[in-house]
Structure 1
Amino acid sequence: MPIDFHLCPSEAAARAAAASFAEKILKPARAMYTMYPTQHERFKASRSIYEAAVAGGLIKGQIASSFGGNGGSLVEAAILVEECYVVEPSASLTIFATGLGLTPFNLCQKPETKAFLEPFLSGKGAPLASLVFREPGGVANWLEKGGIGLNTTARREGDEWIINGEKIWATNSAGWDFKGADLACVVCRDITDSPAQAPDADPKEKIMIIIVTREDLDRNGPDAFQVIRQVETMGHTTVSGPHIKYASVRVPAKNVLCGPGEGALIVNGSFDCSAVLVGAMSVGLMRAAFDAALAFAKGDNRRGVMPLLERQAVADLLSGIKMQTEACRALTWKAAHVLNAGPGDYGARRELALAAKIYCSDAAVKAVTDAINVVGITAYDSSQPFAELLNNAMVLPIFDGGNIGIRRRNLQQLMMAPEYDAWAATYGPSK
C-alpha cells in the first residue's frame, strides 16, 4: 500500500467540524472574556464556550469508544486541536485539558471505572476533568531514586484512602467555582507502610492515581479542598491552573484508578499523548502567525513603491514560517499515527511524540517572532494579534513537561538504553 498523505473521510470530517466550531463558537470568545480584569474571572466567563463544546461532542469525543465515547484516532485529535488553536488558544486549552484529565481512563481501560465518566458522556452541562500532577517546587525529577519524589501522599485506612498535599498548574483542577473539579485524577505517593521515602527506594513503586470527584470533596467538608492562590499567566489568560491543597480528603477504595506501582506508567503515557497535541497547538499558533503576517505584507508598503511581500527579506521570513509550519504538522501527524499504530516498540513510538513536542513548540516561538519581524513596530500594538500569539507560544516549550527539564531528558534516556533502535518508528525493528 503506498504512503498516503491525504486525510481519510473521518479525518476530513473531524477537521470540518472543528473548523466550524472554531469559527462559530471560539472566534467571538476573546471579545467576551477580555472585559474581565483577572484570570479567574475570565475563566468563569468562558463557561458558555465550554458548554457549547460539551453539547457539540468535543468532550465525548475525547473518551474512548470502549467507554461509550466518540474518541477517534490521535491523528484526528491533532487535527481538531490545530483547527481550534489557530482561532482561540486560551478557551481551547480548557477543553483539551479535560481530555488530558480523562486520558488515564482511556489508557487503563478498566470497565469498572466507566461510571465516573457518565457526566462527560451526557453531552450536557460543563463537567471539568483534570490530571492533577504537578506540585509547587516542580516535578522534573519526580522518579529519581533517592529523591524526594511527590509530596502529595495517600494512606490506606480501612476501605478508604486519605489524600494530603499541594498541587499547581493542573488545568481545571479547581472547577468552575474553585471548590474542586467534577473529576480529578490525583497523582500521589502511597505512604501506608512507609511514610518517609527511603534513599534507595524506587519512587515508581509507590506512585498511584486516585480519582477524586466533586462529590467526594463535598462529602469531606469545606476545609478538605482549598485554592491557595489563583495563578495569573502571560498567555492562555482564561485558563485556570491554581495552587491547590488537599487536606485529609477521604475517598473510597473503589476510587483507585492505578494502584501503587501502576501510576507512573499511566502518567507518562498520558503525557506522551499530550506531547503530540502540543505539537498540534504549536502548528495552530504558527499558522495563525503566518496568516496574519502574510495579510499584512500583502496590504502594506511602509510608504514604499511596492507591497512588503515583494521585498526579499520579508518573503524569506514568511517562506521560512510556512515551511516550518508544514514540517511541524507532518511531524505531529506522523507522531500521532506512530504512537497508536507503530511500528517499533513503545520506546520507539514514544520518541516521535517527544520530538513533536520539543521541535514544534520551539519552532512556534521562533515563527511568531519572525512574523513580528515581518510586521515591524506595528506588531507591538495590542490591537494586532502578534503579542497574544507570542504570549501563548512562549508556554509551549515549558508546560506539559518542559523541553529542557523533562522532554529532552526523556529522549536522552531512550537513546542511552542498550536496546535503542534509532529508526524503528519509521522502518520497524532493525533486527
Structure 2
Amino acid sequence: MSSDSSTSAGINFTLSADQKKVQLGARDFAENVLAPVVREADREPDPLKAFQLTKPAYVEAYKRGIAFCMLPKEYGGGGLTNIELILAAEEICAVDPGFACTVLVNGLALMPVWYWGTEQQKKRVMQAATSDPSGEWIAGYAASEPPGTPGGTANFDTPLPHPVGIGVTARFDGDSYVLNGRKYWPCNVAGWDGRGANINLVVVRTDPNKGGTEGLSAILVERGTPGVTYNLIDTFGHRLTPNSEIIFENARVPASNLVEGTLGNGDLLINRNFAWSGPVAGIAAVGVARAAYESALDWAKTYTAGSPHPMIYFQNVGYVLGDVAARIEACRYFCWKAAHYIDQHDYHGELIGALNKTYCTETLLDSVYKCMQVVGVNSADRKHMFEKFLREAAILPIYDGGNFGMQRRRVHGVLASPNFNPRALMDDEYVEFTKEMETIDTVQRPEGPAGRPQERLTHA
C-alpha cells in the first residue's frame, strides 16, 4: 500500500476564506445584535411578547441575508451550503438557540417547496419570502400534533388509517381542500401577532382511508385563511421562538396550494426535513455546550470556592472541563460531516442526520450539567446564565423530531433494511431512504396490566 502525498487531497478541517466570512458574520450578528435582547426576551412570561422582543433582531437578520440563507440564490435566497449553514448556526446558537430555531423553521417550511413544488409555487412563495421590504416575512412548518389516544406525531407513518397517525385532514372539494383538526408545537406558525405567519407548510391527511406512507401530503396555508386560529404555548426553553397550537375548522385552501410532489409523500417530506435539520439541531447543542463550557472555565479560573487558589487547579475541575471540551470538539466535527454528506447527496441524509441529532443533543445535555456541577450551587442563581443553558439544552433532544420517537426509529428502519451497508457512511456512500424503511415499530400489541393483549387501535 502506498500513497503519493503530493497529490492527495486529504481531509481538511481548515475553513476556507468564504466559510470563515460566514462564520464571523454570524458571530458579529449574534454577539452585537442578538445578545442584547436575549435576557429580557427570555424572562418575558408572555410567549408572544417574548417573541416580539426579538423582532428587531430578526429584521436585521433578514437584511443581512440570514433569515433565508438556506434558500437557493435563483429564488432570492442566500444559497449557503449546509456546511456554511452549520458554521453560522453554531455562532447564533451559542447566544440563543431559540432565535436560531426561528430561522431554521423558515427552511423547514420552504425547502420542501424547492424540492417538490411547481415552478410557479417556487417563484410565488420563495421570491415573496426573500423580497419583503419590511424584513418581517416569516414562514411556519406544521407537522406535530397534540397528544391523545390516538394522538401525537411520532408514528406519523403508521400503516393504519385515520384516526391513527396524522389527524389533520384535508378533504378535496371542488377547487379547494377543506382542513379540519389541530396541530400542536409547530414554530413560527402564529407569526408576529399571533394571527398567522405569512405562510405555513402543513402536513395533512389527504386520504383518511390510507396509512401514513400513502395518505399524507403538504399544503400551503396563507395568512388570513378563514377558519384558522392559533394559541401560543408557554415553554420552559427556546422561549425566543414561538410554539403554537393551530386549529383548523373547515378552513378552505386553494387546491393549487398543495405542494405537487408531496401528494401521498408527506411521510418522505417529514423524514427529509428532519434529516436536513439533524445537524442544525446537533450544532445547536454544540453552541449551547460551548457557551456553558466557556462560562464554567472562566468561573473556575476566577473563583476559589474557599481554597487559597482558583478552582481550575483542582484535579477534578480540570478533568471534568477537559472531558466537556473533548465532547464539544467531537460533536462539532460530526455535525460538519453530516452537513457535508447532505450537501453531497441532494439534501438527503436521513440516516446520518438522525444519528447526528440524537448523539450530539444527548451527549451535550449531560455536558452542560457537568459545567453546572463545576460551578456548584451558584449555577442555580438566575443572575448567571447556567439555568438558561440547561433549559435550552434540555429542549434539544425532545424537539425537531424527538430522539425517542422519530429520530431513532428512522435509524432503526434503515439498519433493519436487508440492503443496508453498515460501512456506507464511512465510505461516503449514498444511503437511500425508502417507504419500505418506514412503519417499523408503529403497530404493536402490548400486554395490558393483567397480561392480556390490549386491543389495537383501528379505524372506527
TM-score computed with the length of structure 2 as normaliser? 0.86
Aligned AA (1:270): N
CA distance in 1, matches of 2:407, 2:97: 22
Show the counterpart of 1:393.
393
Equivalent positions of 1:81-100 (< 5 A) are: 81-100=89-108
Q: SS of the counterpart of 1:170?
A: strand
| Partner residue, 2:130 | 121
User: Is 1:57 paired with 2:71?
Assistant: no
Structure 1: which amino acid aligns with 2:240? T
Residue 426 of structure 2 is matched in structure 1 by 426
Structure 1 distance, partners of 2:160, 2:39, is 50
Unmatched 5+ stretches in structure 2? 1-8, 431-460
Which residue number corresponds to residue 135 of structure 1? 145
Could you say if the C-alpha distance between residues 391 and 299 of structure 1 is closer, same or farther in structure 2, counting changes exceeding 3 Å?
same
| Worse-matched range after superposition: 253-262 or 297-306 | 253-262
Q: Does 1:340 align with 2:343?
A: yes
Query: What are the within-5 Å matches in structure 2 for residues 21-420 of structure 1?
Result: 21-34=29-42, 36-108=44-116, 110-113=118-121, 114-122=123-131, 124-125=133-134, 126-137=136-147, 138-146=152-160, 148-191=164-207, 196-197=208-209, 201-215=210-224, 217=225, 220=226, 224-227=227-230, 229-258=231-260, 259-342=262-345, 349-420=349-420
Q: Please state whether the residue corresponding to 1:177 is helix, strand or coil.
A: coil
**Contact 2:279 2:357 (8 Å CA) reproduced:** yes
Does the C-alpha gap of structure 1 residues 214 and 374 become closer, same or farther in structure 2, counting only changes over 3 Å? same
Distance 2:24 2:160 in 1: 50
Equivalent residue letter for 1:122:
S
Quote how far apart the aligned CAs of 1:90 are.
Answer: 2.5
Cα distance, 1:31–1:427 mapped onto 2, change above 3 Å? closer
Q: CA offset at residue 360 of structure 1?
A: 0.5
Deviation at 1:428, TM superposition (A): 4.4
- Number of equivalences: 413
What is the letter of the counterpart of residue 131 of structure 1? Y
Percent identity, aligned pairs only?
Answer: 29
Native 8 Å contact 2:76 2:127 kept in 1: no
The answer to whether the 8 A contact 1:342-1:425 is kept is: no
Amino acid at match of 1:413: G
Provide the secondary structure at the position in 2 that maps to 1:149: coil
SS of equivalent to 2:247: strand
SS at match of 2:191: coil
| CA displacement 1:312-368 (0-9 Å, x = unmatched) | 10001100110000000010000110122159x95xx43221111001100121111
Runs of at least 4 residues off by over 6 Å = none
TM-score normalised according to structure 1 size: 0.92
Distance 1:35 1:190, change over 3 A: closer
The structure that is helix-richer by fraction is 1
Alpha-carbon spacing, 1:350–1:377, altered in 2? closer, same or farther (3 Å): same
Distance 1:428 1:396, change over 3 A: closer
Shift of 1:86: 0.5
Q: Which residue of 2 aligns with 1:3?
A: 11
In structure 2, the partner of 1:13 is 21
Do the aligned partners of 2:167 and 2:182 also contact (CA within 8 Å) in 1? Answer: yes
Q: Counterparts of 2:139 and 2:107 in 1: how far apart (Å)?
A: 7
Deviation at 1:104, TM superposition (A): 1.1
Measured after TM superposition, the shift of residue 296 of structure 1 is 0.2
Worse-matched range after superposition: 111-120 or 167-176: 111-120
Cα 1:68–1:27, aligned 2, differ >3 Å: closer, same or farther? Answer: same
Q: What is the root-mean-square deviation in Å for CA atoms of aligned residues?
A: 1.9
Q: Which runs of 5+ in 1 are unaligned?
A: none
1:429 & 1:301 partners in 2: Cα distance? 52
Q: Say if 1:351 and 1:414, in contact at 8 Å, map to a contact too.
A: yes
AA aligned opposite 1:426: M
